[in-house]
A and B are shown apart, each in its own frame.
Chain A
Amino acid sequence: MKTMVIAGRVIRQITGDKRTLAVMLIAPVIILSLLYCLLAFNVTKANIDLVGGNRAAADTIADVANVTAVGNAEEAESRLKAGESDGYIDGDRFVAEGTDPAITALAKRAFSQYAMKQRLSGLPQQFAAQAGNIVEQPQAVLLYGGENYGQFDFLAPSMMGFIIFFLVFLLAGIAFLRERISGTMDRILVSSLRRSQLVAGYFLGFGLFAALQTIVIQIFLVYVLKIQAYENFALILVVNLFVAGTSLAMGTLFSAFARNEFQLFQFIPIVIIPQVMFCGLFNLRDTPLALQYLARIFPLTYGADALRSVMLRGAGLADVWQDLAAMFGFTLLFLTLNIRVLRKYRAI
């Protein structure tokens, strides 16, 4: 009963504070839109200069590069240095700018295609046709994803998990911290409220907004940004509630070790940023084993993994229960610690 009183107050506070409500519901939409735009308009072709090249040669790489014909090597070199091109081809010499690995990879792809076509064109006609068949790329069949599946589709589940984790950590952490520094914690504990009821009340109150947040994000991803994903709304909601639960337990626990908001923010580089790195933005398969074990101590690793499985591979509850169990374990651990830390405010 008293849990509901705490939950009701948390809900009333958030609904009464338009800014917090906006941060919870609108910020994710803005972040995801930005990411969507950045990835949708990502560079897909390198700008390659062709020194004294002919039109036919340029056409051979038109599908992988924007080709500009230049008069001589000096001009190509100066354009490269001025950032007007990403690389140039001068006979047998292939030069790329080299600072951005992604662009360099695109340039190299253009170079190899160009070289291949050049070599093929040097062969006698009957061999050229055969050789052409040999080097032709095979048609790959994709188990998941599809024709229009892009980088954003891959990142969206991880980002969704991260956004929910980060915002809940921050807002719940600050709310709990304020409870401590404004003296209300002392006052509410001069009642028969149990420490566990206080924490449970926070859980319910913030849980409601986390649920709302995940619904808003899902609707936005599916209907506005039209991501290529399996639309298992219910399971995604469940996974996100586990993510939010872990984050809430973590945020409220860490708030105990901060004397003010500034000190709480100091946890972000230690607690939040590593989670971004391990939440699936990078593939850890070939990283040292120590790093892979390190990733396992961060709850979001499991949350993002479950979200990717559900959204990208159409996994069901039976496939992600281990991730959910791991997050539940983290939540239980942090909650128990938090209830213990609250003994500082009242021994019973």
Chain B
Amino acid sequence: MKKTNDGKSEKAGAETGLNIIHAQDIYKQFGDEAVLRGIDLNVSSGEIVGILGPSGAGKTTLIKCLIGTLGLNRGSVFIHGVAMPSLCMMDRIGYMAQQDALYDDLTGFQNLVFYGRLKGMRKRAAKDQSHELMALVELSGDESKKVAHYSGGMKRRLSLAAALIGDPDVIVLDEPTVGIDPVLRELFWQEFGRLKAKGRAIMITTHVMDEAEKCDRLILLRDGTILENGSPERLKQKTPKGTLEAVFLESAKRQITEGRTV
């Protein structure tokens, strides 16, 4: 395999179908409250997996458990066959939280270089890739502007770029398109498609139905358990209306009838 400047192996172009994330019987509770109850899931390379579910379903907790920033009460997570949390695997994960998680008093460019350096990139390589990513998210003209002066949409774009620095092969995005306009959303999904084509394993949590349609597979999470796991087409067939919205609403309704808060 070809080596890059960073001494890392250059990732295979469009190698798809390899199991990248493997989670087994994840159980997580905060105090007395169980947030995840026995989750099993797999994500392969070249696959976009959407996690759909009402607020409080445990989407963010699930994501944090998968990437190793939250400890598990039971179960295990493997990335590339390595038990998480593992320091060496951490550099191969690109993570975008619901919060922008940027340093307001640094410029957009400095933010990217910083995150790149943390991923183990050399200074030169981190700078080069930061320029590329700034161009990708259409922020080239604002590289030297402090993030404090960015608009909400610009911050979101920079946050996505920060998740992509270091060319991670596992990309985990927690509601990446919340609060951004349709044009920007389109840009984001174009990029997700490109990453998928490069063989990256992508997980996205979302509330937006037309976004969910674009995923290869959907995991419908409710009350800490997986309700459905399948392609959007397969899920749609499960309701008379044949829309994802109906699938979502039905699951939420069931939750209300069972007396749980949505």
Contacts and interface: CB of A to CB of B under 8 A. Distances in A.
Interface in A147-177: none
B114 A5 contact: yes
B117 A190 contact: no
Interface residues of B, number: 33
Given A5-B118, A190-B69, A16 B106 contact: yes
B261 interface: no
A63 interface: no
A17 B106 CA distance: 9
A340 to B, nearest CB: 13
A347 B85 contact: yes
Given A13-B106, A347-B68, A5 B87 contact: no
Contact of B95 (A12, A182, A190, A193): A190
A188 B93 CA distance: 11
Interface residues of A, number: 24
Nearest to B117: A5
Contact of A190 (B67, B100, B104, B110): B67
Interface string A314-348: 00000000000000000000000000000101111
Given A5-B117, A191-B90, A13 B99 contact: no
A194 interface: yes
B106 A12 contact: yes
A186 B118 contact: no
A190 B93 contact: yes
A303 B33 CA distance: 46
Contact of A187 (B68, B86, B115, B146): B115
A2 interface: yes
A184 interface: yes
B105 interface: yes
Interface string B66-78: 0111010000000
Contact of A194 (B87, B91, B99, B120): B87
A296 interface: no
Contacts, number: 81
B95 A16 contact: no
A194 B118 CA distance: 10
Contact of A188 (B85, B99, B118): B118
B103 A345 contact: no
B88 interface: yes
A189 interface: yes
B154 interface: no
A183 B101 contact: yes
Contacts of B104: 182
Given A5-B117, A16-B106, A183-B101, A189 B86 contact: no
A5 B165 CA distance: 15
B71 A187 contact: no
Contacts of A348: 68, 85-87
B160 interface: no
Given A16-B146, A183-B97, A191-B118, 20 more contacts: A5-B117, A9-B110, A13-B106, A182-B103, A183-B100, A184-B101, A184-B102, A186-B69, A186-B95, A188-B115, A190-B67, A190-B93, A190-B94, A192-B119, A194-B87, A343-B71, A345-B69, A347-B85, A348-B85, A348-B86
30 contacts: A5-B117, A5-B118, A9-B103, A9-B106, A9-B110, A13-B103, A13-B105, A13-B106, A16-B106, A16-B146, A182-B103, A182-B104, A183-B97, A183-B98, A183-B99, A183-B100, A183-B101, A186-B95, A186-B97, A186-B101, A187-B97, A189-B69, A190-B68, A190-B69, A190-B93, A191-B90, A192-B87, A193-B90, A193-B118, A346-B69
Interface of A: 2, 5, 9, 12-13, 16-17, 182-184, 186-194, 343, 345-348
Query: Which 6 pairs between the two chains have the least Cβ-Cβ distance?
Result: A183-B99, A183-B101, A191-B118, A190-B95, A187-B101, A5-B117
